[in-house]
Structure 1
């Protein structure tokens, strides 16, 4: 491919992106999310396109090392999605047919689906009504009932970038001898320290999400703190997990420096290109700037929304600092799902993109059919899910747009 060919491809892609953006703006004047792409990002991507190293090149290794170091880990393995990353951890830990993994029903569905890929079963426990993470007390209750020792791991989801109670989870993992997996797909850059009420503290100072458990996962869809377009990153301190995940992502090859056609196990094509990694690296290099902006946006929303009696802004525990994946408010208890849906419809008519976050996993049609779940199984999750409302949240949003979002929400709710 010549330089002229590359430039033609870039121009064509840019034209398509602009066309898509115009179409999106016609539907919603203020989008729900948007990536923060700088000229430096474009330059780094074009540098890869002009090179001969589009896959398994230097940007892959640089992105992996930079991401692992940022999380305070020894090793990083980049793959094509957060879902793939979660699957590889489940597979590498030997979680298989008949095993169970405790996790939250209030999450993106991938955190449960990854177990099904290996014929294991998600064991849901309900969430806390404040931070929306699963309840350590309910986790221990499930572990106590596990007389057949089917539970092999806890999959902890840092929901909406809010870290779980890691101090409590480490206690449980050690007490019941189960593995601990961190799904930090939504929480790159969030900070955690041990709660003040703990006598023994593992983390007296703040540490970043991604440093917990046997392995952790970040995801880089365009609405995340940083994006690779599509992509995920496994970070771990275990050489075994690192080696296995590197092999499994690449068709089960013995090693990337060994015989290219030597396959020692069943693997997958979960590879990610250097194009994606260059984009991610360009953003990871300015992560503190990005997080500062997101925290500023969240603070402004909070200032405007806190006085309103008909909703609750996102909760943040005293021992955490969020990196802000999305901005999700909860409507008051007297609002039903149909009321929330009507509010969303009217906001969209005003040019404000919005949505619910998340639908309970156990009530998805597939899960109801497969496991027999029904309404009422996890009441806190179901109650919260019926009242959540995600507002536009992205780095380029300005004060005027945020004021319009809040004023539109107030107007819509007042009209009933």
Structure 2
């Protein structure tokens, strides 16, 4: 039995939506993009949504639009996908890595507070694995220190804290639609904000620095080609139309894993619920407990891979990556202790209970062989 780590959920409705675009003369910057942006803004409950070519592009545009640049510091977790830190460096600002909370794996508010310096301009708050970060505490810190907040909600579409959706707390937020995400556009992302001025600038920056008042060959400032095609937008709109169904499927998958892995010695399972929050399940990540050695995780991953089961180490700390050698000495004890024990198991909408049972049995076999 071959089981991938992730697999997109594409129905005939999505195929028909994309095919319909190909029969029109609008393949970019057309009605599908406008409809996708409107629908997304309505779903998140923000006035503005701007479709972009990827979540990474969205994070970069937020840095640029907020005038974060050389000499500025941005607080960010190391336990996340590398794009978060890369977007800071694109503008020659400095990522300042801070530690995470051991239970939620999200940014520790206390660690944020300790990391603030006179050069700190912003906090990049990541909602790790679709579990909302402690936004009330982070907002309080930001207000007291006059800092911007950018939410990296790339893994958290549909997640909520205190009844408010992720993406509504900061100055801007970014979502991503890679094929392993809750909804996909193939490649793509969305920036949301309550600021009309910020939205206008991000729209211009994604389209070569061209504002709505400019003609096609007039460029007011340095911009980028971060547009999202009409085909991508049609796919995203069709997927968004069944977002609650998708989120329900994914929660059920998490609950099935919890049932099959309950009482398995040596494992720490992710919490199915978080206080005052709705988790949007992006991945299902288990952790090995302290009875295993630091290198046991890689042995278990090798066993699962050999058995045809897709799995991955989510996440490898950014500050230990070769491209971040200048940050290698960052003091992040919780990040380093937890990251070497995480394993992402196969997780997607249409995975069956038989497949989950098979993954669970192979995992237990790997655990027995490793201890």
Shorter chain as denominator, the TM-score bin is over 0.9
- DSSP-derived class of the 1:278 partner: helix
CA separation in 2, counterparts of 1:49 and 1:60? 14
Q: Contact 1:100–1:120 (CA<8 Å) still a contact in 2?
A: yes
1:74: how far off?
A: 0.2
Aligned twin of 2:192: 235
Matching of residues 270-285 of structure 1 within 5 Å = 270-285=226-241
For residues 215-269 of structure 1, the C-alpha deviation after alignment (integer angstroms, 9 at most, x for no partner) is 00000000000000000100011011100000000000122x6411110100001
Matched, 1:359 2:316: yes
1:318: how far off?
A: 1.9
Matching of residues 199-214 of structure 1 within 5 Å = 206-214=163-171
- DSSP-derived class of the 2:295 partner: helix
- DSSP-derived class of the 2:285 partner: strand
Of the two, which has the highest radius of gyration?
1
- DSSP-derived class of the 1:76 partner: strand
> Which of 161, 177, 187 matches 1:192?
161
Aligned twin of 2:270: 314
- DSSP-derived class of the 1:181 partner: strand
1:290: how far off?
A: 0.4
395 and 343 in structure 1: CA distance in 2 versus 1, 3 angstrom threshold: same
Matched, 1:373 2:328: yes
Matched, 1:248 2:221: no
Aligned twin of 1:111: 84
Aligned twin of 2:93: 120
Q: TM-score, normalised by structure 1?
A: 0.87
For residues 259-304 of structure 1, the C-alpha deviation after alignment (integer angstroms, 9 at most, x for no partner) is 1111010000101100000001000000000001000110111122
Matched, 1:142 2:115: yes
Q: Contact 2:148–2:171 (CA<8 Å) still a contact in 1?
A: yes
> Which of 33, 46, 51 matches 1:78?
51
Aligned twin of 1:183: 152
1:372: how far off?
A: 4.3
1:338: how far off?
A: 2.2
- DSSP-derived class of the 1:168 partner: helix
Aligned twin of 1:384: 338
CA separation in 2, counterparts of 1:207 and 1:402? 32
1:348: how far off?
A: 1.3
CA separation in 2, counterparts of 1:360 and 1:406? 26
Matching of residues 13-52 of structure 1 within 5 Å = 29-52=2-25
Aligned twin of 2:361: 407
For residues 178-206 of structure 1, the C-alpha deviation after alignment (integer angstroms, 9 at most, x for no partner) is 1111000000001111xxxxxxxxxxxx1
Matched, 1:68 2:41: yes
CA separation in 2, counterparts of 1:400 and 1:176? 51
CA separation in 2, counterparts of 1:230 and 1:314? 28
1:77: how far off?
A: 0.5
1:134: how far off?
A: 1.1
Aligned twin of 1:152: 121
1:339: how far off?
A: 1.1
- DSSP-derived class of the 1:89 partner: helix
247 and 189 in structure 1: CA distance in 2 versus 1, 3 angstrom threshold: same
CA RMSD of aligned residues (A): 1.1
Aligned twin of 1:291: 247
CA separation in 1, counterparts of 2:167 and 2:39? 13
Q: TM-score, normalised by structure 2?
A: 0.97
> Which of 306, 310, 319 matches 1:349?
306
Unaligned runs of 5+ in 1: 1-27, 194-205
Matched, 1:168 2:137: yes
- DSSP-derived class of the 1:357 partner: coil
How many residue pairs get aligned? The number is: 369
1:335: how far off?
A: 2.1
Q: Contact 2:200–2:211 (CA<8 Å) still a contact in 1?
A: no
Q: Contact 1:179–1:213 (CA<8 Å) still a contact in 2?
A: yes
Unaligned runs of 5+ in 2: none
Q: Contact 1:336–1:387 (CA<8 Å) still a contact in 2?
A: no
Q: Contact 1:336–1:386 (CA<8 Å) still a contact in 2?
A: no
CA separation in 2, counterparts of 1:245 and 1:235? 10
> Which of 63, 71, 76 matches 1:90?
63
> Which of 195, 201, 224 matches 1:268?
224
